[in-house]
Structure formats: C-alpha cells, structure tokens
Amino acid sequence: MAYALAAPRGRGRPRAGEEIDLDVLLQAALEAFAETGYNGTSVRDLSRRLGVSHALLTARFGSKEGLWFAAMEHVLAQTEQSWREVADSPSLDDLEALRQGVVRQVIFSAAHPQVLRIMNHEGAIDSPRLRFVIDRFVNPLRPGVERLLARLVTAGRIRPVPYATLHFLAVVGGGALFANPVEAALLGGPAHPDAEDIRAHAEAVADVLIAGIALATAEA
C-alpha cells in the first residue's frame, strides 16, 4: 500500500538521481490491476498511492491502457518461459518432461499470481487486452504441450483424454489458486505460502494429473 515511491516531488523535471523507479511503478500498477480489474482501477488512485501526479502515468504510457500493457509486458519479460526447453528436450523421458512442465508452470503461476488474476478480469472475447495475454502467455505454451501429449498417446503411455490440452492448462491455472491470497484463504490453503509450500503443492498437482492420465499398460 505505502509504495513510498518518492516524497512530494514538486513541479518540473526531477533532480538527477530522483527519477521514478519504473520497476516499482509497474509492479504497483500490476498489483492494482490484479486486485480491482482494469475498470475498477483508476489512474488517479494509483498515482496517489505512488506519490506522483496522475498526469505522469498517462503521459509516460500514452494512456491508461498503455500503462496496462506496459505492466503486463514487464512481468512477462521478467520470466523467460522454460517450458519449451523441457517439452522438446530429447534427453528427458516424455512422461517426466510432462510432469516437470506442470511443476514449472504451477510454480511460475504461483510466483506471479497477478497474471492469471488479471486475465480473470477480462471478459470480452475480442478485447485487445485479452488477446495480448493469450498471445503472450497462453499460446506459446500450447504447441509444446500438444506435441508432448501426442507423442505420449502414440507411444501408448497415457490415455487419449479428450481436450487433454485444455485440461492440462486448466490444472496449471488451478494450481495458481494456491498462491492467490483470496482464493487460498477461501479454499483453506495457507494464507502466505512460502517457497516450500508452493513446491509441494506443484508436485502434488503434477502427481494427480500424471497419475490420472498415465497407463500402467498400454490400452489405447
């Protein structure tokens, strides 16, 4: 809440060394959008909490939506997706790769719960904001998952579950519930899970998913 970006700054250009910390600014914006949604977040309120003027935000990012895009881009750029490496690694057993992929994704989602949270707020299918998240966050995941699942099915190692990719992504999304303070509290998870909690949770989710689709003997 008290971001304390700066003491009151005064009018003109800031003194050297007193520039605004973009990391802090964008992180605060991300959290605000995640908590109250795009419509529920006002530029003025955010700027007040940051201790800057409201005009700064729209001037720097062009518009409120520009700020939204910048905040999203910022968090997504922080974390380089390692899923594709795992999925196509020839040295890894396919089933183990699937399992590790789930674990990694759940941990990522848990580390950045704002991304899924913000996505939940977007309702209109043709919204450019939703499109951005999909293209940047969901779609890069799909091909790897689908290739891997297809290989496992042809090898007769998992059941050909209908809409398996959708299930997979849903499980990954569901995994993030754990790290979302709101839903964790609701559903009985720990209010402030530490890294170990998150890891244990990710492993459990992966175990259930893998055990659920794996075949002891090939049958399909």
Q: Which of 72, 177, 179, 202 binds a copy of itself (CB under 8 A)?
A: 177
Count Cα atoms within 13 angstroms, Cβ side, for 192: 0
- The CA-atom distances, in angstroms, between 177 and each of 20, 89, 97, 198 are 33, 29, 23, 11
Give the dihedral of Cα atoms 208, 196, 29, 77; nearest 10 deg. -70
**Smallest distance, a copy of itself to C-beta of residue 26, A:** 18
Residue 37 binds which entry of a copy of itself, DNA, none, with Cβ cut-offs from 5 to 8 Å by kind?
a copy of itself
Contact call for residue 14 and DNA (CB under 7 A): yes
Name which of residues 28 to 57 contact DNA (CB under 7 A).
41-45, 52-56
C-beta closer to a copy of itself: residue 12 or 162 = 162
Query: Following CA atoms 129, 131, 134, 135 in sequence, which dihedral angle do they give, to the nearest 10 degrees?
Result: -110
Distances from the Cα of 127 to the Cαs of 100, 143, 186, 196, in angstroms? 33, 23, 29, 37
Residue with tokens 């492993």: 203
**Stretch 17-56 residues interacting with a copy of itself (CB under 8 A):** 34-40
Q: Which residues bind a copy of itself (CB under 8 A)?
A: 34-40, 117, 120-125, 130, 134, 138, 142, 161-163, 165-167, 169-171, 173-175, 177-178, 181-182, 184-189, 200-201, 204-205, 207-213
Which residues are near DNA by CB under 7 A? 9-16, 19-20, 41-45, 52-56, 58-60, 63-65
